[in-house]
Amino acid sequence: MKIAKALTALFGAVIMTLAVAGCSPTAKTEGTGGYIDDSVVTTKVKAALLGQKSIHSTQITVTTFKGQVQLSGFVRSQEEAKEATEVAKKVVGVRSVDNSLLIK
């Protein structure tokens, strides 16, 4: 009986270890916590862009990976693209901004 209990406990520990390791981040993927953090950053950047009347933000897509924000889509001018980048950089949690915006 003691051996069965010990094996059950060991098996449970191995399963828990594998489950926790499966949620761990790697260089190209995020863990669960990182994904949630990036979702919050993305939402904050979108809200900041919407708050700027001079930016046509409905044409801008925001994605975030490990605090690195990518802006893609269309803007009306180079000045608008630059302003969108500056607005995104000011958001808490943004580590860097990749401006992939195209002028329409």
Q: What is the pLDDT along the chain (104 residues), one digit of tens a residue?
A: 667 666 576 565 666 665 555 555 555 555 545 556 899 999 999 999 999 999 998 999 999 999 999 999 999 999 999 999 999 999 999 999 999 999 98
List Cβ neighbours of 102 (8 Å cut-off, separation of 6 or more). 73, 74, 75
Per the structure block, which two tokens stand in for 88? Answer: 């995104």
Within 10 angstroms of residue 62's Cβ, the number of other Cβ atoms is 23
Q: 69 has which bridge partners?
A: 64, 97
CATH for 26-103 is 3.30.1340.30
What are the boundaries of each domain within the chain? Answer: 26-103
The span from the CA of 27 to the CA of 36, in Å, is 17
User: What is the pTM assigned to this prediction?
Assistant: 0.68
Smallest CA-to-CA distance from 44 within 84, 92, 82 is with 92
